[in-house]
Amino acid sequence: MIRLEKLKEEVATMITSSIACSLLERLQLVDALERLCVDHLFEEQINDLLVQISSTNVMDCDDLHTVALWFYLLRKHGYRVSQDVFVKFKDEGGCFAVNSPRDILTLYNAAYLGTHGEIILVEAISFAKRYLESTLPNLEGLLAHETKCALSIPLPRRVRIYEAKDHILTYEKEHATHEVILELAKLSSNIMQLELKIISRWWKDPQVESRLSFARDRIVECYFWIVGVYFEPKHSRGRIILTMVIAIVTLLDDIYDIYGSTEESEVFTRCMERWDRKAAHDIPEYMKFVYEKVLDAYEYIEDLLADEEKFRMSYLRNFREQVELHVAPTIGSYMKEHNVSVENACEKIKELIEDTWKDFNHEWLTLANVQPKQLLERIFNLARTMEFMYKHDDKFTNCQNLKDRIHSLFVETFASTY
């Protein structure tokens, strides 16, 4: 911990003194800190640097990579910078000047921070996507990997913490590496195992497996999900609470959808509405076990929140609304409602998703109060985790697809050089 504090001091000084560096160097410094997931340690210094960066006139800058990174970072932090900075890079045919695939990749990622009506950014995405798809077979190494990831899910929609260790390895190979930042990132990435042990002890009741053999054992995956929403150390309690809640909802979902009969589910629902241990006498034994586990979990959560005396509750009258008995597949529902083909339904769902992200971006750029922004960031992160979990397949149900990522995040550690 002494070494960690020393590194934090050195990096803070590095950020403060970077005012003498070029615009691109300052942008790359902020980008590195964020992608390595250590930016939360330097919020004040980074905000001060961004204020200074935002005053830079990039209209005279002819480097697309620099301008796109400037646009990306400022929009990401809520600055309403104009899409017009990209006009000079376009020709009459709507194509953008190409100096390197790196330039177009940065433009592609930046353009996904657009809002409704920003035609230049829509054109940038269309052009960059075609260009990157055609260029990808000829790319190699880190650029090929980053391009493939961006074409799957663009950078503004990805979950930073899920990629942090990969980026540490990438950053280590780059020529412009700051060794102090690299070491800080490695040390910071090793601090999540303890929380997972606490949650696992709560979940790994010997009776869970024997009594609830039908249920999905997804406690690690639940924690993995919530880490994507907020990974910063100061949110430890929130991660523990939300992981428990998601694990419980998953358990209830399996009861309602898979195992419980209609009659059992109706009785169980009435029992949940009463929120009283004495109400459990009419339900099957396996449901009694689940019911006790649910009540125990919320009592534990209440104790965690007792010091602030916030969000305390003795029962949940609206629990029925929180546990949906069935969620119909989105595409199938749209096909049935509008009588369209699966292809048309898929295209429409994609349009709705894009519109929703633009709504998100608009809200992000119009908030003035710091507190709502912090809340909105968690909502965005939850949307990002949903994109990660469900875009190409159901990774939560088919958890084998998460195995490598979970192992990287929670099991693998970087050896200290000190």
Specify the higher pLDDT residue, 11 or 347.
Answer: 11
Q: Is residue 390 part of a domain?
A: yes
Q: At which of 164, 188, 212 does a domain end?
A: 188
Percentage of the chain exceeding pLDDT 70: 90
Helix, strand and coil in the chain, % to nearest 5: 75, 0, 25
267: tokens are 């009785």
- On whether residue 411 sits in a domain, the answer given is yes
Same-domain check for residues 114 and 251: no
Among 195, 271, 184, 265, residue whose Cα is nearest residue 226: 195
Sign of the dihedral through C-alpha 370, 371, 372, 374? positive
Q: What is the DSSP string of 223-280?
A: HHHHHHH--SGGGHHHHHHHHHHHHHHHHHHHIIIII--HHHHHHHHHHHHHT-GGGG
| Structural domain count of the chain | 2
Residues 233 and 291 occupy one common structural domain:
yes
CA distance 373 to 336: 38
Q: Which residue has the higher pLDDT, 238 or 157?
A: 157
163-206 tens-digit pLDDT = 998 888 888 887 567 889 999 998 887 767 778 888 888 777 65
CA–CA dist 105, 131 (Å, integer)? 9
Please compute the mean of the pLDDT values over residues 347-365 and round it to a whole number.
Answer: 92
* 317, 403: one domain: yes
**Together in a domain, 171 and 216:** no
The pLDDT assigned to 198 comes to: 82
Per the structure, the complete domain to which residue 415 belongs is given by: 191-327+367-418
Residue 278's Cβ-count burial label (10 Å; 0-12, 13-18, 19+) is: exposed
Identify the domain boundary among 153, 173, 188.
188
Where among 144, 166, 188 does a domain terminate?
188
Q: Are residues 197 and 183 in the same domain?
A: no
Q: 154 and 196 in one domain?
A: no
233 shares a domain with 209: yes
- Whether 7 maps to a domain, the answer reads yes
Residue 350 covered by a domain:
no
**Same-domain status, 182 and 196:** no
Question: What CATH number does residue 56 fall under?
Answer: 1.50.10.130
**Does any domain span residue 200?**
yes
Token reading at 275: 């929120």
290 and 405 housed in the same domain: yes
Same domain membership, residue 175 and residue 141: yes
Using CA atoms, how far apart are residues 260 and 83, in angstroms rounded to an integer? 54
The string of pLDDT tens digits covering residues 106-155 is 999 999 999 999 999 999 999 999 999 999 999 998 899 999 999 999 99
Q: How confident is the model at residue 411 (pLDDT cuts 50, 70, 90)?
A: confident
pLDDT at 212 over 50: yes
Q: Is residue 357 part of a domain?
A: no
In a domain, 341, yes or no: no
Q: How far, in Å, CA of 122 to CA of 117, rounded? A: 9
Whether the per-residue pLDDT at 307 is higher than 70: the answer is no
Q: Which residue has the tokens 């005012």?
A: 19
pLDDT band at 393 (very low <50, low <70, confident <90, very high): confident
Residue 203: the pLDDT is 79
What is the pLDDT, as a whole number, of residue 322? 40
- Compute the distance between CA of residue 281 and CA of residue 268 in angstroms, rounded to an integer: 10
CATH code where residue 371 lies: 1.10.600.10
96: helix, coil or strand?
A: strand
Q: What is the mean pLDDT of the chain?
A: 86
Residues in the chain: 418
What is the token pair recorded at 261? 């009969």
pLDDT in tens, 75-116: 999 999 999 999 999 987 778 988 899 999 999 999 999 999
Residue 107 CA neighbour count, 13 Å, CB half = 32
Same domain, 159 and 214: no
pLDDT at 176: 61
Reading the block at residue 49, the tokens are 């640097």
Residues 170 and 201 in one domain: no
Assess if residue 228 is contained within a domain: yes
Q: How far is CA 279 from the centre of its chain?
A: 39
